[in-house]
């Protein structure tokens, strides 16, 4: 019983309790196995808080200096992997304060927590860590978009079938396909930048729920920690996990985009298509069939999107029924956030590697183009002669039907056969059977002509530079 009482006393909340925790409950309650990665942020927040308490007279200059120096030693131990975790270290906050007391003495270390709660402390740590991680993701996402742009610039002459309903529709530039996904990724980059701004607000100084009674300067602490602003309601500040949920929403949205991109490339890399080939570094073989080269990197990207969606949905269900301010349920926001950040970050790096090493086969892409994909060109040809589009569409449909009935591609129909369908199909109608011409005619903003593709590249480059 005495040992149980000692454990309880060593907890930050231990004075209230006369018995120790059930060992299973102690493990169930502990978050140090995963929140230990916040040690840098926790120490930075503690130093800022101690400085503020020096400035308002709670700590002397000598006491602050001892705390700052002691926390520096604690940080070194974590960095050098020499920090000794004790049985009563239930979280990173408890562990750091316990070790600080061992280094500088409990009398001074015990003043560190004056006016502070683990409720605002954990929210501060999470926001600081997440801000830094999201900035890293912002950088690697920018790099990924740059790889997309580089491929689009370098391979602008390559044509590929464009698909709707997974059916061949109209010819487009390979660069246009690349940029279709790059545009989606750039939109996610813009959203990420907005998320970072909302993450980067300080809850420190809000206490357990009601605020700080020692007139602490929250703005000074926020500035020291690099926050861009404050959370202005203490109840909301300690109970809010919207910044986590919004991050998981963003990550899920991005993973949805990367999953669709991966799906396209999985299809394009199949033997039936043969448009692209993945580098060996991003492929695996079969344990049974030696001829196979599997696009495992892309399949994992597609599969891990489900993991990301699940983390978002799980936290949503955790939060939805909670009463106001802090509840222990919110501890369940930490693990999925950590895993989510790693999943998204790794996925961007893998996608960048896949795209930067991808081999394309322009001749196979061009061979996959079929004259039927130019049927709309006949309708557009007639429109330029004053024929209403609906009528032109009907006539071009008859051209397709004739080719099918004759069992030949559209480009094998004779000029006489075409004129037999409609006399307005003149000698120059054969120009409609030129893939390059068809692509270049799509020159309006957002189209697949060279000029339109280059315009898209300019816009994407501006997006990268706009932060």
First to last CA, the chain: 59
Rg over alpha carbons for the chain, rounded to the nearest Å, is 31
- Using DSSP's 3-state secondary structure scheme, residue 168 falls into strand
Q: Which of 252, 269, 270, 286 is catalytic?
A: 286
Spatial separation of the C-alpha atoms in residues 447 and 441, rounded to whole Å: 9
Spatial separation of the C-alpha atoms in residues 122 and 119, rounded to whole Å: 6
Measured between alpha carbons, how far is residue 62 from residues 114, 116, 141, 316, 334 in Å?
A: 17, 20, 45, 46, 35
Spatial separation of the C-alpha atoms in residues 188 and 255, rounded to whole Å: 10
**Catalytic residue list contains 286:** yes
Tokens representing residue 67 in the block: 């705390």
Measured between alpha carbons, how far is residue 137 from residues 234, 311, 365 in Å?
A: 30, 18, 33
Closest CA to 438 of 202, 191, 186, 160: 160
Residue 350 has a CB neighbour count (10 Å cut-off) of 19
Q: Which of 3, 165, 287, 405 is catalytic?
A: 165
Spatial separation of the C-alpha atoms in residues 127 and 334, rounded to whole Å: 11
Q: Name 442's Cβ contacts closer than 8 Å, sequence gap at least 6.
A: 172, 448, 449, 452
Active site residues: 165, 286
């Amino acid at each position: 019983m005495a040992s149980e009482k000692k454990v309880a006393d060593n907890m930050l909340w231990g004075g209230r309790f006369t018995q120790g925790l059930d060992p299973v409950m102690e493990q169930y309650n502990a978050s140090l196995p995963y929140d230990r990665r916040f040690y840098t942020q926790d120490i930075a927040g503690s130093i800022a808080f101690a400085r503020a308490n020096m400035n308002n007279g709670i700590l002397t200059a000598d006491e602050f200096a001892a705390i700052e120096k002691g926390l520096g030693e604690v940080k070194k131990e974590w960095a050098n992997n020499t920090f000794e975790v004790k049985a009563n270290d239930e979280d990173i906050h408890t562990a750091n304060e316990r070790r600080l007391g061992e280094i500088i003495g409990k009398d001074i270390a015990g003043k560190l927590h004056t006016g502070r709660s683990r409720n605002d402390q954990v929210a501060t740590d999470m926001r600081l860590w997440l801000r830094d991680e999201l900035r890293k993701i912002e950088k690697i996402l920018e790099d990924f978009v740059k790889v997309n742009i580089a491929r689009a610039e370098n391979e602008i002459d390559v044509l590929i079938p464009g698909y709707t309903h997974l059916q061949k529709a109209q010819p487009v530039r390979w660069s246009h396909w690349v940029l279709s996904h790059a545009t989606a990724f750039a939109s996610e980059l813009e959203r990420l930048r907005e998320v970072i701004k909302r993450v980067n607000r300080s809850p420190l100084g809000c206490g357990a729920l009601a605020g700080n009674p020692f007139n602490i300067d929250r703005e000074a602490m926020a500035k020291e920690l690099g926050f861009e602003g404050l959370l202005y309601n203490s109840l909301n500040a300690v109970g809010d996990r919207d910044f986590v949920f919004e991050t998981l929403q963003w990550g899920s949205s991005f993973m949805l985009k990367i999953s669709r991109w991966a799906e396209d490339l999985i299809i394009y890399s199949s033997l039936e298509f043969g448009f692209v080939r993945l580098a060996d570094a991003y492929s695996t073989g079969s344990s049974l069939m030696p001829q196979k080269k599997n696009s495992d990197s892309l399949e994992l990207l597609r599969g891990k999107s489900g993991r990301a969606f699940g983390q978002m949905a799980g936290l949503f269900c955790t939060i939805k029924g909670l009463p106001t301010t802090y509840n222990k349920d919110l501890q369940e926001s930490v693990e999925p956030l950590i895993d989510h950040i790693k999943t998204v970050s790794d996925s961007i790096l893998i996608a960048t590697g896949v795209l930067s090493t991808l081999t394309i086969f322009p001749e196979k892409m061009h061979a996959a183009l079929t004259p039927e994909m130019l049927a709309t060109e006949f309708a557009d040809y007639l429109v330029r002669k004053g024929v209403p589009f609906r009528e032109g569409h009907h006539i071009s449909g008859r051209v397709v039907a004739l080719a099918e009935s004759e069992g030949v591609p559209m480009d094998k129909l004779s000029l006489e056969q075409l004129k037999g369908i409609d006399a307005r199909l003149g000698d120059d109608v054969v120009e409609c059977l030129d893939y390059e011409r068809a692509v270049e005619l799509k020159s309006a903003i957002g189209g697949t002509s060279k000029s339109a593709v280059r315009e898209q590249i300019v816009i994407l480059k501006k997006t990268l530079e706009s932060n």
